Structure 1
Amino acid sequence: MTKAEHNPILDALWDQVNLDDFKEEIKALARYATKYEQIKLMKKLIDGFPPKHEAYQELKSQIDKAVEDSEK
């Protein structure tokens, strides 16, 4: 099977399993993603992060800087 053929299988699995069980694997895969994919992931993660959390502003600021730097 090709990598492209693996994608729909993985998509179906992601929809069915608790991703918390795979946190370390997901983090490892994210390290190998392109810079732009990492930024997209960070933006999606911060969108789901509670704005009242004490770490929100610092993380949001770091993500905004990463986005700004990537646009240079």
Structure 2
Amino acid sequence: MPQYHLYFMNPVSGHIERRKTLHAGDDVAAVHQLQGMRNDVPVELWRDGHKVARQDGPANTFRDQVLAAPRKQAD
């Protein structure tokens, strides 16, 4: 049975915080497992070095404020 890796991402930095292994018969079954999970952070589902799916977590007000803040121009 194929092995999949589910990576839990930091919602602000985008860095991987932890990993969970899933077992599914194929990509469709793995995505169905992912859809049945409730995740508080963005997650990515990978198999053999290829991203199969991404699921964003709930809205993050802090992240949205940081991304929307005007950037200072260098003189």
Same fold per superposition (TM over 0.5): no
TM-score by length of structure 1 reads: 0.28
Higher relative contact order (CA 8 A, sep 6+): 2
TM-score by length of structure 2 reads: 0.28
In terms of fraction of residues, the more strand-rich structure is: 2
Q: Which has the larger radius of gyration?
A: 2
